[in-house]
A and B are shown apart, each in its own frame.
Chain A
Amino acid sequence: MKAINKPDLIGGFIVMAFCALAFFLGRGLPEEARAFPLFLLGCLAVLGACLAFNGWRGKRVVEKSVFEIELEMEDKVKSQAEAGQPAEPASVAEPKPESENIFLIFLTVLLAVAYVAALPTLGFTLSTPIFIFVTLRLLGMRRYLTLVLISVLTTVTVFVVFKTVMYVSIPGGIFDPTELMYRYLIP
């Protein structure tokens, strides 16, 4: 018996649980409004069961990575090479193991969430430079002068471009230089 494909098994159950939850939440609606979503949920539940079942049976579907495609080509080329051809240099790059730095990813997303949450209150001009600065620093950039420069320049450029060229509305917040800008920069 093959090893259980746990992610798929759990995934299937999550899908089915979602269907149950959505079904429960939609109970209040009359039939015509509910019909279509309910049908979809039914199909989803069946598919979730299939996924869980396949996972339990240990089925694994692997998408060919670029590396594997290359290996295939290399093999084909080698098997069809004629005697007189010069040897091709071994050029297939080893697949570099990608360390899943989940913590870093989580932090970056958290930063993005914090930025968006802060936008209405702190405003664009204040939160943006902070966001860019902290994110760049978190991801490894060290030269503080460059950090500050990039943060400030980006904020200013985007702000000016959005407000003048594109008339986009951006949360002002406490430090909103829109008034100042319109009074001094724009004749």
Chain B
Amino acid sequence: MIENIALGLTAALTPWNLLAAVASTMAGIIVGALPGLTATMGVALLVPVTFSMEPVTGLIMLSGIYCGGIYGGSITGILLHTPGTPAAIMTMLDGHKMTQKGMAKQALSTAVLASFCGGMMSSVALLFLSPPLAAFALRFGPPEYFCLALFGMTIISSLTTGSVVKGLIVGFFGVFLSTIGLDPSLGLPRYTFDVPDLMSGLDLVSALIGLFSIPEALSLITKRMSAEESLIGEIKGSMFLKLSEYWRLATNFIKSSIIGVVIGIIPAAGPVIAPFISYREAQRSSKIPEKFGTGIPDGIVASEASNNGVTGGSLVPLVTLGIPGDAPAAIYLGALTIHGLQPGPLLFQKSPQVVYGLFVGFFVVQFAMLALGLWGSRLFAQVVRLPKTIIVTFIFFFSIIGSLAMNGNVFDVWVMLSFAVLGYFMKRYGFPAAPIVLGLILGPMLEDNLVASMAMSCNNPIIFVTRPLSLIILCLAALSLVAPYLGNLKRMFKK
């Protein structure tokens, strides 16, 4: 383990990589601060850029944009009452009230510190949880991976905030889309309509770029931005809270970070859900629950610590099992594939410098975020002055060029645009976009391992229950399916 960490240090701490970490974090903060641009979008648009870089550099840059983006949303949320990213909604509640009370600087600094705490916690989790999990995954065979993928799909039903039916439809559709290409058992082309570009299936990153960048850009066209820019000039007062305040908030910092990490590890749960849960928990266990929402730092701490805790957490299952913890992590998968790397225990064995370089780089990014945030929050807020027209145009431009640049194939851009149109209509009619990502990624995992498992057991499905690990995972999947309804059951029994 120590040798691996040393390996990671040498890989990540080169001047070029350090520069990459700082630059990408700064870009991430800006992207996060801009309302309409999300961290996911930033990560998606950056992947093609990382194509010609060393894998470690590319992964560090993605981490910079990811962590910076998740933190950046709090800046505009606090100052301008518009969350730059959905993850910052809860931060905005108390944060903006603090601005109105004249405590904007303190709100901003609290947000950075909380994000830093959450990010560090997730870096630690990433570094220490991944290797044992990867070693454990060595025992996984096709049946286990199949059940794992199944588990990933069941999470869709428990975590869709809107209509569960729609979420499932989208998820299954994603899996269906992943069947386009050659089938795993006979190698025959499916749904390719004689288009040679489709033989290897739909390009994942192009689909992600289309799904997550363009619909946001399109809604920017119609959105009216809040006209509270004048507030930017009124920031005064001391920057930090009293030391006793920090002491009081200590449990909040730590608990919210842990909540974030755990939620990050669970596939499909992400930086949007985590703040809600940790906010509620912080309020519940607080001595002053009634003051939440009036402008106290506790709300900011709870929200920012957990949403940054998600970042590293979501990478744990990705790196060890190939199952992303949330949408931006899914995009890491694309980046790994571009470099011919496959997540899983083999990655740890064959390319430990990549994995541990990422882990160390993640720590570096947190420090970059802390420095940039403490020093330049007000500067980043000016970014909102950028005219919408430029933002929308450049999102389109970079989405197109990005998907083109990856394989030099114009077809990928058509894929991107198709998903963009699809994503727009999905957004409009209340269909969640995230399950498609899960479906596209888990689909091949489901089918390939199903075929392999059937081959292993001579077409006897009992194999999934006779192998202990596989059975455990199946039970977890069943549990996650019924979890949302347990609350209802409890209520029914009480009556």
Contact at B166–A44, with CB atoms within 8 Å? no
Contact at B400–A115, with CB atoms within 8 Å? yes
Contact at B221–A136, with CB atoms within 8 Å? no
Chain A residue, CB-CB nearest to B83:
A66
Contact at B165–A131, with CB atoms within 8 Å? no
**Which of B81, B223, B292, B396 has the most chain A CB within a 10 Å cutoff?**
B396
Contacts of B351 in A (CB 8 A): none
Report the interface size class on chain A.
35 or more
Residue B87 CB within 8 A of the other chain? no
Least Cβ–Cβ distance between B211 and chain A, in angstroms: 14
Interface CB pairs A-B, < 8 A, 12:
A33-B185, A36-B447, A44-B169, A47-B165, A91-B81, A91-B96, A91-B100, A120-B410, A140-B389, A166-B405, A168-B51, A171-B410
Contacts of B96 in A (CB 8 A): 91
Q: Once bound together, how far apart are the Cα atoms of A34 and B447, in whole Å?
A: 11
Count of chain B residues with Cβ under 8 Å from any Cβ of A? 67
Least Cβ–Cβ distance between A136 and chain B, in angstroms: 5
Q: Once bound together, how far apart are the Cα atoms of A41 and B191, in whole Å?
A: 13
Contacts of B184-207 to chain A: CB distance below 8 A: 185-186, 188, 190-191
Contact at B397–A132, with CB atoms within 8 Å? yes
Q: Once bound together, how far apart are the Cα atoms of A62 and B389, in whole Å?
A: 30
Chain A 53-78, CB within 8 Å of chain B: the 1/0 string?
01000000111101001100110110
**Which of B52, B191, B389, B417 has the most chain A CB within a 10 Å cutoff?**
B389
Residues of B contacting A: mostly: helix
Knowing A91-B97, A116-B410, A166-B52, say if A136 contacts B389 (CB, 8 Å): yes
Q: Once bound together, how far apart are the Cα atoms of A73 and B290, in whole Å?
A: 10
Least Cβ–Cβ distance between A20 and chain B, in angstroms: 13
Chain B 440-480, CB within 8 Å of chain A: the 1/0 string?
00000011001000000000000000000000000000000
Other A-B contacts than A47-B169, A104-B222, A135-B397, 20 sampled, CB-CB below 8 A, are: A11-B166, A26-B191, A34-B190, A36-B446, A37-B176, A37-B191, A40-B176, A61-B430, A63-B161, A77-B290, A77-B294, A91-B97, A99-B222, A100-B222, A109-B417, A112-B417, A112-B420, A119-B413, A168-B405, A171-B410
Contacts of B218 in A (CB 8 A): 105, 108-109
